[in-house]
Amino acid sequence: MTDEERAGALVERLLGDVLGTVSIFSVYLGDRLGLYSALANGGPATAAELAARAGVAERYAREWLEQQAVNELLEVAEASDDGARRRYALPAAHAAVLADRDSMTYFAPFARLSGVVDTQLPALLKAYRMGGGVAWGAFGADMREAQGDANRPMFLRQLAQEQLPQIADVHARLQAAPAARVADVGCGMGWSSIAIALGYPGVTVDGYDIDEPSVEAAREHGVADRMRFHAEDPGEASGGCDLVTAVECIHDMPRPVEVLATMRRLAASGGTVLVMDERVAETFGADGSIGDTIERLMYGYSLLVCLPDGMSHTPTAATGTVMRPATLRAYEQAAGFADIEVLPVANDFFRFYRLHG
């Protein structure tokens, strides 16, 4: 391939990326304005009908509907040369992706995750030039809610139903008497904690997170009689837990060694410490990470969210989203664990680690 051909191919790829960015922002609008929900719940609509249902300006509703149809996210249910009379529908399969927060294919939160980054681009430029970072809280409710909504279907449908049962002794202990105690460190909006409590009706779960708005939201959805959410570091919490988890959060911790040492202390004798984190490649490049979809996605989150959040703290390990197994192994050894085991739990996005000793 000539240099001219390579340049042309890159331009074509970047054009696709621009189109994808525009599409994601349009999904952000449809999600946050309730346009998809209005179509899913109320059926096909004209621009005026959708504007009335969702409480938006009719001219914007018409432009959005046309753009969504051009991008094949919506279908034209009743064609007309008169744009005001044209009626649009959200196909059922697309509604699962764009409007059903219980669906395993629900993707709208990822548009929110992408859209909210735009609000912090000036702060990110400053951080990259001067050092320091952009704290998680700076991204606001959109980011917090999007993270929770993105994880919610998988946690509620798979964590206790498919993933934990693959760890036979943990599954057995969570089902046995006396009731098991679980500590969920870095619980965010609490869906991992809630999933464990719902999946194992006898257990009690304490969820810990330093982001108070996330904990407040978790308290609204928790299983009240068997769950407690704490807006604090678990450093002073009592031990004796049968299971201590950190679900998709260790890479975000500015002091991961301290967090892992706390998890080790919280576990009872014979208890299990379990970490779930991103399933990135084991090494850079050599094992196919170059061009890999998951690797590209995780580096994107790292550049824009996770690393800047980590860099906003002092001191910080500045891990970033792409935490490879060797990095976690170094952290767990520094925290006093004897060994780390990668568990054979199947998942495209997450890797499960059991920490021993």
324 close to 279: Cβ distance less than 8 angstroms: no
| Residues in contact with 306: Cβ distance below 8 Å, sequence separation at least 6, in sequence order | 251, 252, 319, 320, 321
Q: What is the pLDDT of residue 286?
A: 65
Instruction: Record the pTM.
Output: 0.93
Q: What pLDDT, in 10s, does the model give residues 74-123? A: 999 999 999 999 999 999 999 999 999 999 999 999 999 999 999 999 99
Q: The CATH number of the domain where 188 resides is what?
A: 3.40.50.150
Whether 110 is covered by a domain: the verdict is no
Q: Using one digit for the tens of pLDDT, what is the confidence trace for 177-219? A: 999 999 999 999 999 999 999 999 999 999 999 999 999 999 9
Reply yes or no on whether the pLDDT at 150 is more than 70. Answer: yes
Structure confidence at residue 235 (pLDDT): 86
The verdict on residue 150 lying in a domain is yes
**Strands (DSSP E) found in the chain:** 75-78, 87-89, 181-185, 204-208, 227-230, 241-247, 267-278, 339-342, 350-356
pLDDT digits (tens, 9 = 90+) for 229-260: 999 999 888 899 999 999 999 999 999 999 99
Tally the domains of the chain: 2
Chosen domain end from 34, 65, 100: 100
In a domain, residue 255? The reply is: yes
211 and 134 inside one domain: yes
Tell me, yes or no, whether 35 and 86 share the same domain: yes
Phi and psi, residue 278, nearest 5° = -60, 140
Q: Which domain holds residue 313?
A: 118-356
Q: Is the peptide bond before 254 cis (omega within 30 degrees of 0)?
A: no
